[in-house]
Copies of this chain bind each other. A is one copy, B any other.
Amino acid sequence: MSNKPGIPKGTRDFDSIQLYKRNYIIEIIKDSFFRFGFNPIETPSFERSSTLLGKYGDEGDRLIFKILKSGDFLKGLDKDEIINNNSSKIGSKISDKALRYDLTVPFARYVVQNQNNITLPYKRFQIQPVWRADRPQRGRFREFLQCDADVIGSKSLFQEIEFIQLFDTVFNSLGLRGATIKLNSRKILIGLSEISDCKDKFKDLTIALDKIDKIGMKAVNEELKSKGFSDKSVGIITDLISFSGDFKKSMKLLRMTFENSTTGLEGISDLEFIFSSIENLGLKSCNLSFDLGLARGIDYYTGVIFEVSAPETVTIGSIAGGGRYDNLTERFGLSNMSGIGVSFGLDRIYMVLDELDLFPNVNSNLVKVLFLNFGNKNSLFALEAINKLRDSNVYAELYPDNLSLKKQLSYANKNKIPFVVFIGDDELKAKKFNLKDMNSGSQELLTITQLLNKLS
């Protein structure tokens, strides 16, 4: 059977060069997580459907990949039921597990399940793929890696401060200067809904604010007014946006506005503490900026929210984000566990580093020397030397077949192997190695000791 090969849309193969670059980023993120006291966990790729469904809103539910029950999944299913029901109802009967959609909900599930074995505040990081049945586009895939760090069990704003420093550490280590860490607080957005007597329309506010970049302030204002927001609060929002991140000016206006909103005032003092602390500590590579337009779609955030955008020269949107959530574990039966977490978007960061040419020269092949093959006897002699080289941490290989010299040298060239060794019959007799430097073309006849010294 022949079968023209391909992969499902939105997924990717990675070759070695791409993986060296991806791993370069991953190792820096991982190292920074360790440096800040986070330890790793891993959770299964698929969870029970009941763990995931209903946690990300209707749109999220739709985008979750469901796995068919194995075996006879139609068994016990009434035929009438199938005929009279729609896909989503049938889906829940023939599927009982699903691929994870993010790392945060599985983390909440993990915390509740292991609550007797963990020490609070509990800091963990998790670097694993997630899957979403989203429409693929530039920088958006159906399988992608998330790099998350979360702390659960403390309401301290020092967590917010530490995460801002963590963002800065990661992007500084990657050599990326000028990324902006944008900050807002759900409490301020709640305050704005409260003063408009639109407390119940908080969600409409976040949805509208999320669109500023796309449709502009004027259209957002129209939308807000149509939802019932007062002219006064729409005016304040317009002013705040026009301050474009001037922190002090924004807080001043908000403090006047929030006279009667405890939540709003809390949001202000949270942000003021964070901003003054970071001002005092200093950042290495990133800027910190208040952004009222930052809303972040995900339902579970309750306090400070973050988003990091790439330097302005790169138009790619956010490269990291996160925020504080207060009730995530409640859904699994454990209340009063405030948490906060951030997520780094590997694919976006990769695109930024690529565009700004910030990847170091990563070696795509670690093999230093190829032994050419001139028949079995010579090759066995070569393998003895190869073993000794490998033991001395020189990565070496034997060309497996006794083919033309041209073919063998072309293999070394294509794989960028810097040295080759010839062992002809004369060399074999003399127990010597003819080493050729593929760049300079120079050749030397060496003993095994000389060869080891030369290549180590």
> Which residues of chain A have a CB within 8 Å of any CB of chain B?
1-8, 11-16, 19, 34-37, 39-48, 50-51, 54, 62-63, 65-68, 70-75, 79, 82-83, 86-87, 90-91, 94-97, 99, 109-110, 112-114, 117, 119, 121, 123-124, 129, 131, 133, 143, 151, 154-156, 158-159, 161-162, 165, 169, 273, 277, 280-281, 330-333, 364-367, 373, 376, 379-380, 383-384, 387, 390, 393, 395-398, 400-401, 410-411, 414-415
Contacts and interface: CB of A to CB of B under 8 A. Distances in A.
B45 A5 contact: no
A15 B41 contact: yes
A185 to B, nearest CB: 18
B6 A113 contact: yes
A280 B63 contact: no
Nearest to A17: B39
A151 B280 CA distance: 56
22 contacts: A2-B330, A3-B51, A4-B332, A5-B109, A7-B44, A7-B47, A7-B109, A8-B48, A11-B46, A13-B41, A13-B42, A14-B42, A19-B42, A34-B366, A65-B68, A66-B67, A72-B86, A74-B87, A119-B414, A155-B401, A158-B379, A158-B400
A50 B4 CA distance: 10
A36 B390 contact: yes
A72 B87 CA distance: 5
Nearest to A66: B68
Nearest to A129: B45
10 nearest CB pairs, A to B: A11-B44, A156-B400, A37-B397, A70-B133, A16-B39, A119-B414, A14-B42, A66-B68, A154-B400, A2-B333
